[in-house]
Amino acid sequence: MQKKTIGITATDFAGNKGAAAMLQAIVKNVSAKCNNVDYKLFSVYPKEDKEQNPYNNLEVVSCKPEQIIFIAFPLAILFYLFKWFKPLKALLLKNKILRGFYECDFVVDAAGISYVDSRGFIMNTYNFICTSTPLLVGKDVIKFSQAMGPFKTFWNRLWGNLALPKVEKICARGEITKKHLKDLGLKNIELCADGAFSMLDDEKATEYVNSVVRKDKFYSNEIIGLSISSVVDGYCRKNGIDYIGIMTRFINYLNKKGYGVLIIANAARKGKIRPKNNDLVVCQKVYEQVANKDMCRWYPEEFTPEIIRDFISKTKILVASRFHAMIGALEKQVPVLLIGWSHKYKEVLDMFEIGDYATDYKKLDYNNLVEQFERLENEYFDVENKIKRNLPKVKQSSYKNIEIIVDKIKSI
């Protein structure tokens, strides 16, 4: 087979480890099926991604928001209008982002969530630009499994109507997203569970986590995982909810019940203080306020998604504020209680018949959280059995993402 090049957008190794899990799932699974494929990662964090990139056949292309919004996208419009004029076309392709897309056979858009009314004009415009730029240089786009919609606001509906019908395949992450896309009149839809369910285990990650667990008697306790999110913290602060205080108080409650608590940062940028794609700061604030630190573990590191998932596998229950921490728990058959902010959580939990274990952050308070946790404790084995029963078909649905990409490669 002639060498093919796949562009991958809206994901990184650095920062959000849910995005990294989807990236790992794409590269490892596609490479296992097609051994003559190169990848171009259009990266928001190019310096960190180059440092963390483990693949010889993956090139990191700098694609920061300001670079694509103010330079590459306007140039892509010119490219589309004047592609017949070879001297101008050659000049436009001197832009590294445009040239990167042009050198790809097709592009996989791996945004975990996009075109959602509640994210506002700026984010939805950015989603539109990220979808449209490779389309304008003549490249087919596949949207890897993601949450989308609703499309009720003027701008989101406009951007969706302009870009999404031109996408070759949109992998809807759940029934709610599928309905939103159908309401927009789209036909190019395939229901595929989240791509991170297809992330392969990593032997070195497993060995590392097992070595940590063996050396620490803390893990002889029953462990509750607590995935803390800077995003949910930000939403809560805007609504007058003391997320950090509630999380701290909840850990103290769990410790008094005899549980050890493992704090998990599923988004991390080591050495950065900004909360964007970085839970380290908010996790540290919670840990500093915990009463009994002997009954709590917090590793202020930027772990790989495989290491995070292996740590989650050591817990009895995960209380998650990060979507892909939830995915990691479900993949490891760990019952999960979710604190979130959109339909993206519920539509996945519905696949396991446990959609009522998703709580909107607006309803978050300490007493409600304790009540929900104790309910999960009481229904633990029922929830665990539902996860075990539904996981095989969910993983099969997730793998359809990979099959769509592989079929596209073979069709070129």
CATH number of residue 318's parent domain: 3.40.50.2000
CA atoms within 13 A of residue 324's CA, in its CB half-sphere: 31
Distance CA 169, CA 174 (A): 15
Tokens of 170: 């949109």
Distance CA 54, CA 34 (A): 18
pLDDT at residue number 382: 98
Domain that holds residue 49: 4-198+395-411
Tokens of 217: 């008697």
Q: Say if residue 246 is in the same domain as residue 116.
A: no
pLDDT at residue number 344: 83
Q: Say if residue 350 is in the same domain as residue 289.
A: yes
Q: Say if residue 45 is in the same domain as residue 190.
A: yes
Coil/strand/helix, residue 148:
strand
| Residue whose C-alpha is closest to residue 295's, from 260, 247, 263 | 260
Distance CA 38, CA 5 (A): 5
Unique residue bearing structure tokens 């009954």: 295
Distance CA 196, CA 20 (A): 9
Q: Say if residue 142 is in the same domain as residue 231.
A: no
Instruction: Spell out the residues 6+ positions from residue 135 whose beta carbon is closer than 8 angstroms to its own.
Output: 141, 163, 166, 167
Q: Say if residue 404 is in the same domain as residue 259.
A: no
Distance CA 141, CA 80 (A): 16
| Residue 148: CATH number of its domain | 3.40.50.11720
| Residue whose C-alpha is closest to residue 395's, from 187, 199, 169, 134 | 199
Unique residue bearing structure tokens 């019940």: 257
Query: In the chain, how many domains are there?
Result: 2
Q: Say if residue 231 is in the same domain as residue 193.
A: no
Q: Say if residue 267 is in the same domain as residue 407.
A: no
Distance, C-alpha 105 to centroid of its chain = 24
pLDDT at residue number 222: 98
- Give the mean pLDDT per block of 10 residues along the chain (412 residues): 94 97 98 96 98 98 98 99 97 98 99 95 98 99 98 98 98 96 97 98 98 98 98 96 98 99 97 93 98 98 98 99 98 96 87 93 95 98 99 98 98 94
pTM exceeding 0.85: yes
Strand order in the sheet with 223-227: 296-298, 260-264, 223-227, 317-320, 336-340, 358-360
Distance CA 166, CA 150 (A): 19
Distance CA 76, CA 129 (A): 10
Q: Say if residue 193 is in the same domain as residue 223.
A: no
Q: Say if residue 85 is in the same domain as residue 106.
A: yes
Coil/strand/helix, residue 146:
strand
Distance CA 340, CA 363 (A): 10
Return the sign of the alpha-carbon dihedral for residues 408, 19, 197, 302. positive
Amino acid, res. 259: Y
Distance CA 305, CA 300 (A): 15
The pairing of strands 296-298 and 260-264 is parallel
Residue 199 DSSP label: P
Q: Say if residue 90 is in the same domain as residue 216.
A: no
pLDDT at residue number 167: 99
Other CB atoms within a 10 A radius of the CB of residue 362 amount to: 10
Q: Say if residue 190 is in the same domain as residue 214.
A: no
Q: Say if residue 330 is in the same domain as residue 291.
A: yes
pLDDT at residue number 73: 99
Distance CA 45, CA 383 (A): 38
CB 136 within 8 A of CB 77: yes
pLDDT at residue number 359: 87
pLDDT at residue number 341: 77
Segments in 73-170 forming alpha helices (H): 73-82, 86-92, 96-102, 120-136, 154-163
